Amino acid sequence: MSQVKPSLYTSLSPALLHLHDLNNTVVVIIDVLRATSTIATALYNGARCVIPVDSVARCIELGKNIDSITAGERDGQIAEGLQYGNSPFEYPESFIKGKTLVLTTTNGTKLLHMALERGAGEVITGSFPNLSSVCDYLLASKQNVILGCAAWKDKVNLEDTLFAGAVINRVQEHFSINCDSSKLAATLYDAAKDDLYGFMHEKNASHYQRLTGFGLEKDIRYCLTPDVANVLPFYGDGKLTIHSW
């Protein structure tokens, strides 16, 4: 008898997450530009942990501890009252090693808290810099999966959908995928995979416009590069730490 495969669904926006049952499910939080790329990078570079919080006030409160960095953005820029922003380049090993990063962002950290409130079985974060770790974990854990795109203020975006497609491209043989959003994401990734940056540029994706407007092309290129910070951020006890299995 063949084994029943676990299911995989994609939620293209936080406004669609309620359509899915998150119990006993691994939810992958995807905010490619830039929260989840930055989370992977900070942990890869030796941060003790990343504490994702959903408000600037909470970020400042938690940041009062020694060795804590408060960081985050609203609308793509450093939020008032915080020390650092949402760029992976702000967190080299020489700066972040051994420290705690308390992070709040417009979309990614909000979606993470939404998934927790809705009873997600496990929460991990995904981005191109840690693509292989995410795929390896999903294949190893053999649980049902929701790929949760953080989007931009609930509007579907290209980069998070592309990452969902990249994951599906790698793991699809091992999951039952009865979900048109996943098929849409996989088709998008197929069209873009030979040159992700070129695709974002050619399509003039909305977030591409927003970040290049701030002079952040370098961030975009990094955030579209697979496995440059290949660790698995796993949520537990209020923080994200590297998970080995």
Q: How would you class 173 by CB atoms within 10 Å of its CB: exposed for 0-12, middle for 13-18, buried for 19 or more?
A: exposed
Site for its own copies in 158-187 (CB under 8 A): 158, 161, 178-181, 183-184, 187
Going 7 to 107 to 123 to 17, the CA torsion angle's sign is: negative
Closest CB to its own copies among residues 59, 188: 188
Pairing of strands 8-11, 233-236: unpaired
Kindly identify the residues of this chain, within the stretch 194-223, that bind its own copies according to CB under 8 A: 203-207, 209
157 near its own copies, judged by CB under 8 A: yes
Q: Which of 188, 206, 198, 202 is nearest to 151 (CA)?
A: 206
- Provide the mask over 16-55, with x wherever binding to its own copies is found by CB under 8 A and - wherever it is not: x--x------------------------------------
Q: Does 112 bind its own copies (CB under 8 A)?
A: no
The minimum distance between CB 233 and its own copies, in angstroms, equals: 25
CB-CB contact of 106 with 83 (8 Å): no
In terms of CB distance, is 29 or 162 closer to its own copies? 162
Give the Cα separation of 133 and 157 in Å (integer).
23
Residues that bind its own copies (CB under 8 A): 12-13, 15-16, 19, 153-158, 161, 178-181, 183-184, 187-188, 190-192, 203-207, 209
